[in-house]
Structure 1
Amino acid sequence: MRPPTLSKPEAVKPSRDLPDWLKRAFLTSVKHYQAGMYEQARQLLIATLEREPRHSDSLYLLGSIAAQSRDLDLAEEMLRQAIAIESRKPVYWVLYGNILQYKNQWDASAECYRAALTLDPNHTDAYYNWGNTFERQQRNREATECFETALRLHPGHLQARNNLANQYRNAGRLDEAAAHLQQAHRQEPASVPVILNLGNVYMAMNRHQDAIDCFDAAIQLAPAMSVLYSNKGNALRALTRVEESLAAYRQAIALEPARAEFHINCGIALQMQGRLPEALASFRQAMTLAPESAAACGAGLFSLHYDPALSPMDLCQAHREWAKRYAPPTPPRRHANSRDPERRLRIGLVSADLRQHPVTFFTLPLLEAHDEERYEILCYSSGGKSDAWTERMRNAADGWCEAAGLTDLELAERIARDEIDILIDLSGHTAGNRLLAFAHKPAPIALSWLGYFNTTGLDAVDYLLVDPIVAPPEEQAPFVEKPLRLDGCYLAYAGPEYAPAVAPLPALTQNHITFGCFNTLSKVTDDVVKLWARLLHRVPLSRLILKNSILDDGHSRQLYWEAFAREGIHRHRVDLLGSSPHRELLASYEHIDIALDTFPYNGGTTTCEALWMGIPVITQAGDRFVSRVGATILTNAGFPAWVTHSPEDYIEQAAALAANPEQLAQIRASLRDRIQRSTLGDTAQFTRRWEHALRMVWHDWIRSAG
């Protein structure tokens, strides 16, 4: 959050009954101050106060100069003296409130603005600055109300309009935010904060090129402002212009090397290109620069799953340390939920990804199949973006809360008011998570499921929903939470209605085998490339197709061609395909004979989608949750033979499938039907198992609660 701005004070007019010398001295001081000649103004004010120590306007202006130089203790003392002499001037109270705001004395600051409004109920700056205080406290509703009032009183108040637009953006009211900022831009075309914030709103609206145009315009006006380059990098990254985004982040870092968020953004872009050692170095630098930042350390936690050198217990300890630092236990909350063991339970799902996203692909069938008489499911959507999938989720849920504009505490209080019995985190440490709301323990039971692949690290989360393959009961579970094991698979899959029909096996007409992988490129590590290159050498004439939006970026394509070339695979054997709408992505499987999973970070959605499109998948299982996702999907789909446990086994299984195109064609023709009839594809039965597991933990809570 940006620090408050101690803006220049409102002008004060000298009283009519002052001596002429005092009027002239004070007016000269004001002119010096307005010209930025602070030292000359200060010296003249001191001389004035030596002759007339009770001149409150001089004390006020001297306090303003002290505030501008960040001598807040002196500024506070000057305003205290001015108000003791003359307490009826609202401008004194407003500046006093601003000083206290900067010192994080929220309640005292609010009292000052309240005093100003008692004297003048229409004092615009009192409402504006009170809104800033609320904003710094993350009391967004009150901040919005203050900015709206300030703007009604003074429609030309640029800062109030700018800050109101920020509040609207945070609350997901993007069209209103854009309209206010466009009006502010017409009012003041050279205002860098307005152009910056308009670019941020365009980012939230997925108007990424418009956002880039804004950031470029602001850079022309303020070329030394580091955040402009970082935000431009974010927009470029969203357009998968990854190499350009890295250049922008490096410019931001060159201007402000100690700002952790720039290193995080750089790390994300490097990770997207599969440059994991460099990405990890960026995340570690961010954690070094901002050890107090939950976001910096959370991004680092996520990236650790790509490092095979860390053991499952190492990862668990890293998550535990994150929680200890950023989400310590809060005072116990008494939950008044009815202890009836068989009543209708209120279930809360919390996610930033309730849109076209893997979390929604797996959750929507459950919502549509849940027993509405016994379970009431409410969704808390904190992503701020929506699409057709969002509307389907909203229609299938029993309740919906737009939570993007709520602080963690506000969200926790809302969940408590809703009397949620079981609260489910669908994000873990992925972007947009609300784990700090979970730390407040707003519901009797909390569990994490689906959106992550490890422990949250929080004592406030009671269970991690898993299955016997990703978390075998005979092993010590490397989780802070208690493992809640579902029979079968911990997820179920149903392909979208718009999925095209399964196409014929391409090998029958192409006379060669085509392997493929549509996983996120960050999972395609050097070790994965080396193993796939061995497989291509093993299977003569075979080809490989990789498809991901990052491959729209020419430099990213070159990096992967070079990686395969180092292993003796010419680029003509590796096709690198970029982004496409989801239906067209599924249709692209018509070119694939056999899908290859990544390791140690397995695919999830991509494995299910490949199976749905008739493609067998070869996976390599490992020693942790994220390395066993492929194993549980394939086993519960009915194909445990496609699960391998070593690089050599991986190559042998893939080569054996490749050697028998007729068998591949038979598998392809029947695979979708077999998936639909499997444990993996039976979403209705999965929903019953899921509901039963929740009912059992509810019974356990009732017993433990006495």
Structure 2
Amino acid sequence: MTDPDAIPAAAARQRTDGDAAAALAMLAQAAAEAPADAALALRHADALHHARRLTEAEAEYERAIALGEAGFDSWYGLGMARAARFAYPRAVEALYEALRIDPAAAALRTTLAEALFQTGAVDAACAEYAEAIRTGNAAVRAAALRNLACIIPGAPGADHAAVRAVRTAWMQAQPTAPRRAAADATGRRLRVGYVSSYFGRPNWMKPVFGVLNHHDRARFEIHLLADGDPPSAEGGFTAHDEDRIWSIRGAGNARIAAAVADNRLDVLVDLNGYSVPERLGLFMLRAAPVQLGWFNMYATTGSAAFDALIGDDAVVTPAEEAFYPERILRVPGSYLAFTVNHPAPDIVPPPCLAAGHVTFGSLCSAYKLTAPTVAAWARILHGVPGARLVLRNSSFGDASNRDAIAARFAQHGIAADRLAMDTPAPHLDFLATYGRVDIALDAFPYNGGTTTTEALWQGVPVLAFDGDRWAARTSRSLLCAAGLGDWVARDAEDYVARAIALGRDAGTPARLAALRAGMRDRLAASPACDVAGLCRALEAIYLAEHTAALPRG
């Protein structure tokens, strides 16, 4: 039998020499030969974790803890392994235990915060990031500030001032240029550059592709700065010979800024927002005379490096503009007007016609399932005793995430048999889930965007309310533009009351059937799908902003 005391050092030497597989094999053999050795179990778990054999690593960390190796390293490793395989509620349990053992472990808090966020505990996640900023080293503080800036608009407890303060702190940490690029007054076609990491994700880009396909190439030269895959015809993008597609994946902001300046782009439009916060640094370098944010913006960027953000009358009130260093420009209708150029299932009759009860549903991401959202949905289910709730998102591939949601509803007295939690599926099958939903319930304070457009396109009305921030009004924007403003409640109390009334009303099945009939034709004729009109409005903004940026005198 191998001397177990010598194994960890020998395995460490092999890993240092680059032979991780040999180190793992040595530790596996030693752990099998000494099954009661807790320290070996921990080292074996670490090696499995390093090899990305996460399920096995989790089991081995648990075995090490059961054998008595229950210190910080075991609980931290267990939490990290669970988080890496997206078992977020169980990761939170382990990471809290590690933090109890070592409250000074600031780096741990960033992983804990991410796991909390992914469970919908956004306020708690913000608190952990804030503590990491307060106590961590420079690298930890930077990472925590970045992530906090990303998630804070969806935190129920955050207000406009908090969002601006956090995002301003993040943007001020980015390199800046001493002055803005000069506007070109030669009268040539206006050069517009769009920056996105998601051109290759057509289901996310319905408003963007609608606009790009309608640009007037006689007046505008279009540049697509793609951080990921480029747009494709299969995704609904219509290519034009004059367009230029830049691959900027992996390129630094300074290099891209130099290319923007060299190519004399007049207007640079960010489509990412804080989905890709590092790329916001490109705009701090002021390579284009006009810099705008559109599409994935639903709060301030925190920086006047953006001349303006583009929204509509539904999402930002005049009084709220004081919390934006950027100007707010508004387009008619919805700033998210969309077109569907990818495959989608046919609309089917509302399931309540056959089921005899209303089925509510939401296909939003798990991080939008905040405590106020779950509480409101539980109240709705209590108010409509026969109703069911269908949920589906990518996190439900792990049983622990489904169990955690069921437990949260159970805390409100809702039995698990009233919930259906579907596992992930290809996009077409995912959309088919709407065939089992009568009424979609919007999440808050982070509404649906893509989720709302897809529900409507599948004939399912979305019940929302007029929230307290831009992120909480994106569904209002789409519903009002679609002629469905009566599905926007005044506030959260009215939202719950309306859902209960709809669920109990004997006339609801007939109303829903009539609504679904011809839904796509009505949508296509409404401002919600007027992508040509949105394109003309954006072009007018680009021209006006460029004119305003021209040198005077």
Q: Which range, TM-score by smaller chain? A: 0.7 to 0.9
Would you say 1:606 and 2:451 are equivalent positions? yes
Counterparts of 2:329 and 2:275 in 1: how far apart (Å)? 21
Counterpart residue number, 1:366? 211
Structure 1, unaligned runs of 5 or more: 1-184, 194-210
Counterpart residue number, 1:690? 538
Counterpart residue number, 1:330? 177
Q: Once the 2 structures are TM-superposed, how far is the Cα of residue 605 of structure 1 from its aligned partner?
A: 0.9
Q: Using structure 1 for the length normalisation, give the TM-score.
A: 0.64
Matches within 5 A, 1:237-276: 240-243=86-89, 262-276=108-122
Q: What is the CA RMSD across the aligned residues, in angstroms?
A: 3.8
Cα deviation digits, residues 67-108 of structure 1 (max 9, x gap): xxxxxxxxxxxxxxxxxxxxxxxxxxxxxxxxxxxxxxxxxx
Cα deviation digits, residues 587-614 of structure 1 (max 9, x gap): 1100000000011211111111100000
Structure 2, unaligned runs of 5 or more: 1-14, 24-47, 59-63, 65-71
Counterpart residue number, 1:214? 51
> Quick check: 2:409–2:415 contact (8 Å CA) kept in 1?
yes
**Pair 1:429–1:475, CA change in 2 (3 A):** closer
Would you say 1:500 and 2:328 are equivalent positions? no
| Residue number among 551, 555, 562 corresponding to 2:400 in the alignment | 555
Cα deviation digits, residues 420-443 of structure 1 (max 9, x gap): 111111222223541112111011
| Residue number among 442, 448, 458 corresponding to 2:287 in the alignment | 442
Would you say 1:189 and 2:19 are equivalent positions? yes
Q: Once the 2 structures are TM-superposed, how far is the Cα of residue 457 of structure 1 from its aligned partner?
A: 1.1
> Quick check: 1:619–1:631 contact (8 Å CA) kept in 2?
yes
> Quick check: 2:332–2:534 contact (8 Å CA) kept in 1?
no
Counterparts of 2:208 and 2:107 in 1: how far apart (Å)? 31
Count the aligned residue pairs.
Answer: 501
Counterparts of 1:214 and 1:301 in 2: how far apart (Å)? 32
> Quick check: 1:356–1:389 contact (8 Å CA) kept in 2?
no
Counterpart residue number, 1:665? 513
Counterpart residue number, 2:126? 280
Counterpart residue number, 1:35? none
Counterpart residue number, 1:155? none
Counterpart residue number, 1:316? 164
Cα deviation digits, residues 322-357 of structure 1 (max 9, x gap): 333x1364311443x5214x5311111112222226
Would you say 1:568 and 2:416 are equivalent positions? no
Secondary structure of 1:635's counterpart equals: helix
Counterparts of 1:588 and 1:466 in 2: how far apart (Å)? 30
Matches within 5 A, 1:57-136: none
Counterparts of 1:213 and 1:503 in 2: how far apart (Å)? 48
Counterparts of 1:350 and 1:228 in 2: how far apart (Å)? 42
Cα deviation digits, residues 286-340 of structure 1 (max 9, x gap): 322146654421211222223333322332233223333x1364311443x5214
Cα deviation digits, residues 380-439 of structure 1 (max 9, x gap): 2224x6796898659468112222221221121122122111111122222354111211
Cα deviation digits, residues 142-201 of structure 1 (max 9, x gap): xxxxxxxxxxxxxxxxxxxxxxxxxxxxxxxxxxxxxxxxxxx9x9534999xxxxxxxx
**Pair 1:294–1:587, CA change in 2 (3 A):** same
> Quick check: 1:302–1:430 contact (8 Å CA) kept in 2?
yes
**Pair 1:231–1:370, CA change in 2 (3 A):** farther
* Percent of aligned pairs sharing the same letter: 32
**Pair 1:391–1:504, CA change in 2 (3 A):** closer
Counterpart residue number, 2:185? 339
Counterparts of 2:99 and 2:341 in 1: how far apart (Å)? 43
Counterpart residue number, 1:532? 377
Counterparts of 2:85 and 2:217 in 1: how far apart (Å)? 41
Counterparts of 2:406 and 2:439 in 1: how far apart (Å)? 20
Counterpart residue number, 1:650? 495
> Quick check: 1:463–1:481 contact (8 Å CA) kept in 2?
yes
Matches within 5 A, 1:131-530: 188-190=18-20, 214-216=51-53, 240-243=86-89, 262-288=108-134, 289-290=136-137, 293-324=141-172, 326-327=173-174, 329-335=176-182, 337-340=183-186, 343-356=188-201, 359-383=204-228, 395=239, 398-431=243-276, 433-473=278-318, 475-530=320-375
> Quick check: 2:440–2:460 contact (8 Å CA) kept in 1?
yes
Counterpart residue number, 1:544? 389
Q: Once the 2 structures are TM-superposed, how far is the Cα of residue 674 of structure 1 from its aligned partner?
A: 1.1
Cα deviation digits, residues 208-243 of structure 1 (max 9, x gap): xxx9773459999xx9xx999999988965754435
Counterpart residue number, 1:163? none
Task: Give the letter for the 1:448 counterpart.
Answer: G
**Pair 1:237–1:578, CA change in 2 (3 A):** farther
Task: Give the letter for the 2:171 counterpart.
Answer: A
Q: Once the 2 structures are TM-superposed, how far is the Cα of residue 664 of structure 1 from its aligned partner?
A: 0.8
**Pair 1:569–1:233, CA change in 2 (3 A):** closer
Q: Once the 2 structures are TM-superposed, how far is the Cα of residue 495 of structure 1 from its aligned partner?
A: 2.3
> Quick check: 1:411–1:437 contact (8 Å CA) kept in 2?
yes
Q: Once the 2 structures are TM-superposed, how far is the Cα of residue 615 of structure 1 from its aligned partner?
A: 0.5
Secondary structure of 1:364's counterpart equals: helix
Q: Using structure 2 for the length normalisation, give the TM-score.
A: 0.81
Q: Once the 2 structures are TM-superposed, how far is the Cα of residue 647 of structure 1 from its aligned partner?
A: 2.6
